Amino acid sequence: GTYGVPAISDVSMENLTEPINSCYSSQCTYVAWSTRDANHQQKISVSKNAQVIFFWTGDNSVYLAPSQDAFEQCSFGNAHRLSGVLDDARKYYTFHTGFQDRTYYLMSGKTNAYSPSSCELGLKTSVEVGESSSDSARRSQGNFVLVVLIVVGFIAGVMMLVCIVYSCRKNRIAAKTTGVNKRLSHRIQLKRRESKNGTHLQSSPTMQLPDGWQLHFTSRGKAYYWHSATRTSQWEHPGSSIRQTR
C-alpha cells in the first residue's frame, strides 16, 4: 500500500497492524490522518475497485461530502457518515471505491477538544477513481483486436468482390463463346442443306475446265478463272454454272 507522505510522527508500525490485515483488494492505499502533520495526503488517485484505508490516533470519524464546495468549506450539512462506532473505536476505516469514474470527498467529522475542527485542520482527502494500468492494457488490447477484425473483414470483402467480378466476366465470355459456336453451327447446317438441295454446288479448282478457261491464282493463293476469248475473270468455277444450267 501507499502510506501517508511524509510519515506521521505519532503513528508507528504497531498502529498499522489491523489496517494492514484489513487489505484484501487488488490495491490498497493507506492515508494517515493526523492534526500534527498538515502535509498528509489530501488528494489521491486510485484505480477502480480499490481500497482506501484511513487511520488515525485521535478522536475522528469519516464523512462523505456531497460536493467539492462542501469538502473545501468543511460543511457537514448534507454529508453522509461512513464510519461506524466500531470503526471509530478501532481508529481506522476502509473505503471501497467501486467501479465508477468519479471523485469522492472524504473528511473527518468529529472535532478535537480545541477549535477549529479536524477537517479545518486538514483531515480531509479527495479520492479520484480512474482507470488502472491493467484496465488500460485490456482496453488497448480490445481496441487492437477490433482493428484487426475490421481489417480482416475489409480484406475478405474485397476478395469476395473480386471473385464476383471475375465470375461475372467469365460467364459473359462463356456466353459469348456459346453464341458464336451456335451461329457457326447454324451456318454449317444451312450450307449442308443447300448442298443437299442442289442450290449451292461446291466446286474444286482441279475440276475439269471448259474450253477457253484457265486457272490462275492471286498473290495470296486464291484461285480464279480467266476466259481468254472474252478476256473476263471470275471466282466461281465455270463448270458450276454449266452444271446448274443443265
Q: What is the pLDDT of residue 62?
A: 92
Q: What is the pLDDT of residue 41?
A: 64
Q: What is the pLDDT of residue 194?
A: 55
Q: What is the pLDDT of residue 7?
A: 36
Burial 64-81 (b: 16+ CB within 10 A, else e): bbeeeebbeebebeebee
Q: What is the pLDDT of residue 68?
A: 93
Q: What is the pLDDT of residue 15?
A: 46
Q: What is the pLDDT of residue 144?
A: 82
Q: What is the pLDDT of residue 142?
A: 79
Report H helices in the chain. Answer: 17-21, 68-73, 85-90, 133-197, 238-245
Q: What angle do CA 7, 29, 139 make, to 5 degrees?
A: 140
Q: What is the pLDDT of residue 69?
A: 94
Q: What angle do CA 49, 15, 38 make, to 5 degrees?
A: 75
Half-sphere exposure for 223 (CA within 13 Å, toward CB) = 12
Which of 204, 107, 197 has the alpha carbon at shortest distance from 189? 197
DSSP string, 150-197: HHHHHHHHHHHHHHHHHHHHHHHHHHHHHHHHHHHHHHHHHHHHHHHH
What DSSP state is assigned to residue 138?
Answer: H
Q: What is the pLDDT of residue 246?
A: 41
Please state, in angstroms and rounded to a whole number, the distance separating the CA atoms of residues 132 and 26. Answer: 11
Interval 45-81: pLDDT, tens: 888 888 888 888 777 889 999 999 999 998 988 999 9
Q: What is the pTM of this model?
A: 0.48
Could you say which residues of the chain have pLDDT below 50? 1-17, 198-202, 243-246
Q: What is the pLDDT of residue 105?
A: 95
Please state, in angstroms and rounded to a whole number, the distance separating the CA atoms of residues 210 and 224. Answer: 14
